[in-house]
Amino acid sequence: MAEYYLAVDIGASSGRHILGHVEDGKIVLEEVYRFENGMEKKDGHLCWNVPHLFHEIKEGLKACKAAGKVPKSMGIDTWAVDYVLLDEEDNVLGNTYGYRDGRTKGMDEEVYAIIPEAELYARTGIQKQMFNTIYQLMAVKKQEPENMEKAVQLLMLPDYFHFLLTGNKLSEYTNATSTQLVSPETKQWDYELIERLGYKSSIFRPLHMPGTVVGSFTKEVEDEVGFSCEVVLPATHDTASAVISVPALTKDCLYISSGTWSLMGIENDHAICSEESRKRNFTNEGGYEYRFRYLKNIMGLWMIQSARHEWNDAYSFTELCDMAEEENAFPSRVDVNDDAFLAPESMLQAIRDYCEKKCCAVPETVGQTAAVIYQSLAESYARTVAEIEELTGRHFPAINIVGGGSNAAYLNQLTADKSGRCVYAGPGEATAIGNLAVQMIKDGKFDSLEAVRRCIHDSFGVKKYEPKA
């Protein structure tokens, strides 16, 4: 009988339950459940429906039972930075805000009045993004001080879901680093920084590494889903899980974890916290085995996803790539990292407004708009390659694209052409595979990260795109 492991991979727009097992030396995946997700307007804010998400987690567990494939262990990963505050009775205090909510406006200045931006970067190595937890907590301190006062513990969202399953509260390292409140030296919360900011230091509990056992299901959960299994911390930050599954067999390979966001960077054994690195907006997020993911957050496929919704989801992403390729000569470009594209009421209007403002041709058709997005994204990738090489003094001849965006052939070829690098695309289910990989290493199926990466390369393969002269 196969031994199954379960990755629950929850993204900003959907979640999946993916079972994995090893067969004939290769990892085999099976999606058993999928559900929708998205931020909802509540009290004028963008929030996550946490009870709904936990309901869907349990429904997926029931689907495993119904399929006769009960996992030996499971783990949950999500996006970063969002959290819950729990009171002494483990109730969630206030709303569970989504990272695109606007309540953090001006909170950066509140933070920098206490610790200057340059000092904060030198201390944490994390890039400034207005949705980082450090700014979200300043919004709590300023706008909802009673919730900060009542809080007994802070848990990032996957840690909270693990708690609901097991009754045990463990904080995982990779996701915690995205808060901008963790020291790259100690690999634990920077309590001195937390206290300077006026946050309640007692709510931050010690950090644990991927591979740590959280516990087994509570009796209540076991009775509801029909079985119990071990819950193991994966790299709960979805990008950290995705990077685990990068199948590059050399160290000289850049990666792009391509989804709603594009996370482009390298693996380092130390953090680069220089002032030049800060100015270029690079970040040093925590990775598996205390590796550092030295990378830049790029807007990613969010723009094309949003535009597609405005076109009533009438086109597949493959069709959008094809239409963009037909308009390859359309000249306009946008800065994909401009705040105008973070959460606009209309992405199509935001693109048109940007082009008008920059006095360049305004896209009128679906193909022209898609071409602007894909071309702009590929040019952002190419600039980032040059920056990484400049900041590290190293040369990277190849780019490995993993995640859903690895299926976008047109974008992959554009990336190769504009960067002058070979692009290796795949696997598409990178986050779930990385989640499963940690569980499999913990269970002794593989003896190292290198071994599981070799298996991932052999199991899923990659597609190569060479730059056109």
- Helix axis angle for 347-357 and 366-392, nearest 10°, is 70
SS3 133: helix
Q: What type of residue is 161?
A: F
Distance CA 366, CA 257 (A): 26
The pair of structure tokens assigned to 159 is: 């840690």
- Helix axis angle for 366-392 and 317-326, nearest 10°, is 90
Distance CA 235, CA 262 (A): 18
Helix, strand, coil shares of the chain as percentages rounded to 5?
Answer: 40, 20, 35
Q: Count CB atoms within 10 A of the CB of residue 374.
A: 25
Q: Which residues share a beta bridge with 34?
A: 16
* DSSP state for residue 91 in the 8-state scheme: P
Q: Which residues share a beta bridge with 357?
A: none
Reported residue count of the chain is 469
Distance CA 446, CA 459 (A): 14
- With a CB cutoff of 8 Å and minimum separation 6, the contacts of 55 are none
For tokens 């879901």, name the residue: 161
Element (H, E) at 380: helix 366-392
DSSP 8-27: EEE-SSEEEEEEEEEETTEE
Residues belonging to the active site: 238
Q: What type of residue is 26?
A: K
DSSP 36-71: E---EEETTEEE--HHHHHHHHHHHHHHHHHTT---
CA angle 279, 291, 300 (to 5 degrees): 55
CA-to-CA separations, 265 to 6, 88, 206, 391, in angstroms, rounded: 27, 40, 27, 11
Element (H, E) at 239: helix 238-244
Q: Count CB atoms within 10 A of the CB of residue 85.
A: 22
CB 108 within 8 A of CB 268: no
For tokens 């100690």, name the residue: 186
